[in-house]
Amino acid sequence: GQQVQQSPASLVLQEGENAELQCNFSTSLNSMQWFYQRPGGSLVSLFYNPSGTKHSGRLTSTTVIKERRSSLHISSSQTTDSGTYLCALEFYGSSGNKLIFGIGTLLSVKP
Amino acid sequence: AQTIHQWPVAEIKAVGSPLSLGCTIKGKSSPNLYWYWQATGGTLQQLFYSITVGQVESVVQLNLSASRPKDDQFILSTEKLLLSHSGFYLCAWSLQDRASAETLYFGSGTRLTVL
């Protein structure tokens, strides 16, 4: 089955509203990463978060390993936040790092 | 500072034609290298990884091959493209040192359209 599940699949907000994106995983892992995928496809790393809470500007990531979940909170959303947000489980070992991605949450922020 | 460069930015190719995509990492010696692929509307998935020159491991079979001719270069290729090869290809690198291998760093990608 799917190892990484993201919800919601899509989200439409009015500018200024907050967003909560969820990522649930079904396997143990080394860490969790959140990415923003630009409409052209390139990735922007938002958080490397193995556990606990991290902040970056209007973004907050919280990972609770024992509950197998991670969340991304976007406060005071802006139209430039529109795009796809991906979470990925990270495993690393003798074969290097491996990321298993979720399908993403498509965020649309209206002016 | 490390930089990762992918080429070309985009390609439109015919079914059955050959393909070669490239990736170069500068400013980091002996990195782990990876190829990822995303079909339109699909999930990003790892295709290949390499931990040293001349060594490549396949993760997903897609009738593609990869090679690492130099420490800083990773090539993805096929002799005959299929329609199913269309999508977005990303190259990435990470540190070799497991103790400090925190994350993967991605290139800007290549958009491939097979007609």
For every residue of A2-60, DSSP letters joined together read -SEEEE-SEEEEETT--EEEEEEESS--SEEEEEEE-TTS-EEEEEE-SSEEEEETTEE
Residue type, B79: E
Across the range A99-107, mean pLDDT stands at 93
Q: What percent of chain B has a predicted confidence (pLDDT) above 90? A: 74
Which domains are present in chain B? 3-114 (2.60.40.10)
Could you tell me if B105 lies within 8 Å of chain A, comparing CB atoms? Answer: yes
Across the range B69-89, mean pLDDT stands at 96
Closest CA to B25 of B104, B97, B100: B104
pLDDT the model gives residue A93: 67
pLDDT at A1 over 70: no
Reading the block at residue B57, the tokens are: 């491991």
pLDDT the model gives residue B112: 97
Could you tell me if B9 lies within 8 Å of chain A, comparing CB atoms? Answer: no
- Assigned architecture for domain A4-110: Sandwich (2.60)
- d(Cα B12, Cα B3) in Å, to the nearest integer? 26
pLDDT at A37 over 90: yes
pLDDT the model gives residue A28: 72
Model confidence at B59, pLDDT cuts 50, 70, 90, reads: confident
CA distances (Å), origin B39, targets A95, B49, B85, B87: 24, 19, 8, 4
**Local structure of residue B30 (DSSP, 8 states):** S
Residues of A in contact with B88 (CB under 8 A): 41
pLDDT the model gives residue A66: 87
pLDDT the model gives residue A62: 96
Closest CA to B6 of B51, A45, B20, A94: B20
* Other CB atoms within 10 A of residue B77 CB: 13
pLDDT at A63 over 70: yes
Across the range B5-12, mean pLDDT stands at 96
Residues of A in contact with B108 (CB under 8 A): 42
User: Distance, in angstroms, between B47 CA and closest chain A CA?
Assistant: 10
Lowest mean pLDDT among A22-26, A34-38, A93-97, B59-63: A93-97
CA distances (Å), origin B46, targets B37, B43, B104: 6, 10, 12
